[in-house]
Amino acid sequence: MNFELTEEQIAVRDAARDFAQNVLKPGVIERDNEQRVAHEEIKQLGELGFLGMMVDPKYGGGGMDTISYALAMEEISKVDASVSVLMSVNNSLVCWGIEMYGTEEQKQKYLVPLATGEKVGAFCLSEPEAGSDATSQRTTAEDKGDHYLLNGVKNWITNGNTASIYLVIAQTNPELGHRGINVLIVEKGMEGFEVGAKEDKMGIRGSDTHTLNFTNVKVPKENRIGEDGFGFKFAMKTLSGGRIGIAAQALGIASGAMELAIAYSKEREAFGKPISHHQAIAFKLADMATKVETARLMVHKAAWEKDQGINFDLSGAMAKLYASDIAQTVTTEAVQVHGGYGYVKEYHVERLMRDAKITQIYEGTSEIQKIVISRSVLKD
Ligand code: CAA
């Protein structure tokens, strides 16, 4: 067993850290207040290769391993979880899905601009009446011979307006249940496709979450990924990998809040000494550090399993469940360490506390992770 990072992994982590601290941090409070997407910074992130990290270099990607991706996700999430969710969806759901299951034509046409950051992708599974119960798709993709006719509504779509390439899950053969579901690549600008209302969210306010409306959108057959009926399996497989990304995001939110709490505890004095010298605070920091380190080990194990070609459904679900839970407690404790200052925007921890909550909800709620985990441990 080797816990040491390679030189390349360290370089990726340090580059992500520099970018987060120097480029993302200065405007993050303002973007959160104004619910503004960091378009310019995201462009730079793409140019640095962070939007197609694991994609084969022949398709414009970085050819990196999942550990490097998790390290970068942690560093970016320490500062700006709104940017890291875009990064996670683009890397692990959209790029990975097309690279694993797309045709060569789809890769050339869609994966290359996504991996280079020229375009951003979105993953469209959730619907007003199909969240956790993802097989209950109401959006329909009617087979019309050379094309599908897409009709329906998707909601909670991350990168809803920023994206221009959308992977849309829809039902083609209701009588076949989940085996009748397809996944189609939809482009912004296709007739009948409209980006709807933007959500006003508690956290990740610099990420644009939208409803999407599809009315008789003609999607060419060649835009279907995989065999007819592969859509639900596609969603499950990509979400398994996506959960490592969100686990790394939760880890980053927690470790970012912990780092701020440590720094503050050394500066702030009470009763004649820095508050870090009071056991009440030092023990909080000890608990935070233990939780963060445990989450990091779980995230890296899941990432390592993915890199080794080992089934990572279980380790990814466990990592997401645990990291998103400790992100709640660690960020709440970081606010507590800061006292009144923690409750105001300037000190960053209140934003991290708000951002943490979503990691227990998207890409499978904590309850869904427990379904995946319990089914696995109960399997004969
Ligand atoms: N890999 C491959 N196939 C899988 C799979 C996996 N990890 N998990 C399930 N499947 C297959 C099953 O084998 C089954 O296929 P067969 O019948 O052919 O064997 C099929 O999928 C249906 O599986 P289940 O019977 O287990 O289905 P279920 O209705 O009990 O649901 C579930 C399973 C795990 C609860 C699933 O519905 C689920 O994950 N729900 C959560 C959805 C989710 O994560 N949504 C997030 C939205 S995306 C998002 O948040 C992105 C963003 O913008 C940030």
pLDDT for 1 equals: 87
pLDDT for 177 equals: 95
Tokens encoding 317:
């679900």
CA-nearest residue, atom 15 of ligand 1: 233
- Give the strand pairing for 121-124 and 165-171: parallel
CA–CA distance, 291 with 322 (Å, rounded to integer): 9
pLDDT in tens, 124-158: 999 998 989 989 999 999 999 999 999 999 999 99
**How close is the Cα of 135 to the center of ligand 1, in Å?**
7
pLDDT for 132 equals: 93
Nearest CA among 320, 246, 298 for reference residue 87: 246
Ligand 1 nearest atom to the CA of residue 88, by list position: 54
**How close is the Cα of 295 to the center of ligand 1, in Å?**
24
Q: Which residues line ligand 1 (CB under 6 A)?
A: 85, 89, 123, 125-126, 132, 134-135, 158, 178-179, 232-233, 236-237, 239-240, 313, 362-364, 368, 371-372
Q: Which residues pair with 214 in a beta bridge?
A: 152, 193
CA–CA distance, 114 with 101 (Å, rounded to integer): 15
Active site residues: 363
C-beta neighbour count of 149 within 10 angstroms: 17
CA-nearest residue, atom 14 of ligand 1: 233
CA-nearest residue, atom 40 of ligand 1: 132
Contact 170, 150 (CB under 8 A): yes
Which residues of the chain, if any, have pLDDT below 50? none
233, 237, 246, 312: which to mutate for ligand 1, most atoms within 8 A of CB? 233
AA letter at 124: C
Nearest CA among 228, 307, 251 for reference residue 2: 307
CA–CA distance, 250 with 255 (Å, rounded to integer): 9
Q: Tell me if the pTM is above 0.95.
A: yes
Scan for tokens 């992100």, then name that residue.
Answer: 327
CA–CA distance, 368 with 324 (Å, rounded to integer): 13
CA-nearest residue, atom 46 of ligand 1: 363
